[in-house]
Structure 1
């Protein structure tokens, strides 16, 4: 009995001595030891509520891997359109009802506005050292991806010779009279990311006027989601989709081989999917874990190889990475990256917004 008791005591001693090492291993490599307090705090919190414009199919590999890293995390993921995400959060915050702890959206301007208006938690992420200044706004709004706005097309119906390489060539194709009712693009009046992409296209593309007039002549269908446009193109109802989120097209190509995607030789826009932690979050520590995971090399590897969302970090290898995108668009000089900064707020100034939308309505809708 005495021998067994001593053996049990020995095992207990080893277990107790090993406990700090187990806790230390939970802190990601390169993070400060004090990060253990964030992990411990998260273990005491309840459900993490995420509002996101990222499709569930793209986000699920990330959620699954995050749960492997932090098995105690309880996540409620809400797939919501960009404009609805913004308005729903503001309404719930004003009413004091339960709302999101993390907002992850491709509507960059709306995300930065949440930060500028005092809704975002200021957080010095240990991952910030791995990103450039253009990837975050005052430690409150964080770019997590680098996603191109691509031209998608139906391979069965579009001949290789009919693929325009530049915006000027696309404008000429649109004005040729053969694509009436065969084009899909964003409705910037109904989609937050649609407005961001279309307005930035107007800022940086010298042929935007000709393209928008061509979209009007071709009676382009206007949509508020990438999914709807992908369906139109894959079914053949539309031959081309303009300024479509390339990551979603890349994922769809896994099951739809007839879906093609092309980038512009005269400049391809790339936006960043922006993450914000609610300043009034009920689960702030878990929210920090999730944000840091999205920014981490581990999370970005999952993006690049499973979610097929183009990763932002430069030290990630895979199918959808900064390196593969840069090569696909013909070099870094052809990649027009929208920065996460206060200039995005100019898009939301009523006079600026109305000036652009009036141009859009005139050219595309003939109003």
Structure 2
């Protein structure tokens, strides 16, 4: 019995470690001798074609691909920066701070706009909008909202339809959700009015876009606010009850970014991976993730800018004040 207890106790760290990841998969090259470790907030299904194309061109490499939330990813990299070679996240602000704090390796990359990189250490490779996604069945007799103000009116006019059936990010837990929320708040006071209305309807709070879309499809919720457009489009192909709305009042568009860890154990291979990732933008290959919209420039573009101002709301005091105001608006129950 004592040996059994010892065995169980010895397994606890292994089980705990295994439960940290939303997904973990290994993509093996045909003659692999080196394993590149990539930590990412992007679901494996979206990244698998990119990983397969990389190891096809680099058969001596394998890729171990870890998926976790944007906030957990940031904590993992800061705690153990030598465990991962490449870091990929949709939370631009957290990525920029990682690079600013010395966690990114400077590399030489060509053919990428200046606005899509920062100090040759952080690189954007997709352009993806935040979308309002609705279950069309709940809007059969309601005009499809085209702006946030339209959505406010629809929710206010029919509380019996939308009570406990609106979803959005829990920005206390989601790095991407926090980024979208702070950018929306900077753009317009409409964000706070919408948040208060969602709160009055007992909005459901989510970790991620995938979970919101699952509940939209099942009918558990009727509206999801600030869902990743690429994730919604991927599910819309198979689900006829999803309608994706890119609000016309002000767009919120993020760029997914990648960096090479400053303490990468396979820096050369990691650098090649980044270059491969960026090179795919110029090929005709069909990819699950949208490409970087290189037609955008720094004048009047809608992308969240990759610049130091992005880190403003990561300041501890500003973050605490923002979350206090957000909680007051979204959590209105007893």
TM-score where L is the length of structure 1:
0.77
SS at structure 2 position matched to 1:276:
strand
Structure 1: runs of 5 or more not aligned:
1-42, 316-321, 323-331
SS at structure 2 position matched to 1:222:
strand
Matched, 1:338 2:304: yes
User: For the residues of structure 2 that align with 1:183 and 1:44, how far apart are their CA atoms?
Assistant: 47
Q: Is the CA contact (8 Å cut-off) linking 2:41 and 2:90 kept in structure 1?
A: yes
> Aligned to 2:146, which of 159, 165, 169?
165
User: For the residues of structure 2 that align with 1:240 and 1:110, how far apart are their CA atoms?
Assistant: 27
User: For the residues of structure 1 that align with 2:99 and 2:33, how far apart are their CA atoms?
Assistant: 24
Matched, 1:294 2:277: yes
User: For the residues of structure 1 that align with 2:49 and 2:32, how far apart are their CA atoms?
Assistant: 25
Match in the other structure for 1:249? 232
Match in the other structure for 2:134? 153
Match in the other structure for 2:4? none
Matched, 1:70 2:53: no
1:126 deviation in Å? Answer: 2.3
User: For the residues of structure 1 that align with 2:330 and 2:181, how far apart are their CA atoms?
Assistant: 12
Higher helix proportion: 1
1:127 deviation in Å? Answer: 3.2
Q: Is the CA contact (8 Å cut-off) linking 2:130 and 2:252 kept in structure 1?
A: yes
Match in the other structure for 2:100? 116
Shift of the 45–141 alpha-carbon distance from structure 1 to 2, 3 Å rule, reads farther
1:64 deviation in Å? Answer: 1.1
- Aligned residue pairs: how many? 299
1:352 deviation in Å? Answer: 1.1
Match in the other structure for 1:350? 316
Higher strand proportion: 2
Superposition CA RMSD, Å: 2.1
1:210 deviation in Å? Answer: 1.0
Structure 2: runs of 5 or more not aligned:
1-30
Matched, 1:61 2:49: yes
Q: Deviation string for 1:235-270 (max 9, x for gaps)? A: 001011001000011111222222221111112210
How does 1:199-214 map onto structure 2 within 5 Å? 199-214=182-197
Q: Is the CA contact (8 Å cut-off) linking 2:87 and 2:261 kept in structure 1?
A: yes
1:157 deviation in Å? Answer: 2.9
SS at structure 2 position matched to 1:289:
helix
Q: Is the CA contact (8 Å cut-off) linking 1:172 and 1:214 kept in structure 2?
A: no
> Aligned to 1:314, which of 286, 290, 294?
294
Please identify the structure whose Cα radius of gyration is greater: 1
Q: Is the CA contact (8 Å cut-off) linking 1:233 and 1:241 kept in structure 2?
A: yes
Q: Is the CA contact (8 Å cut-off) linking 1:297 and 1:313 kept in structure 2?
A: no
Q: Is the CA contact (8 Å cut-off) linking 2:129 and 2:254 kept in structure 1?
A: yes
Match in the other structure for 1:174? 155
1:199 deviation in Å? Answer: 0.9
1:123 deviation in Å? Answer: 1.1
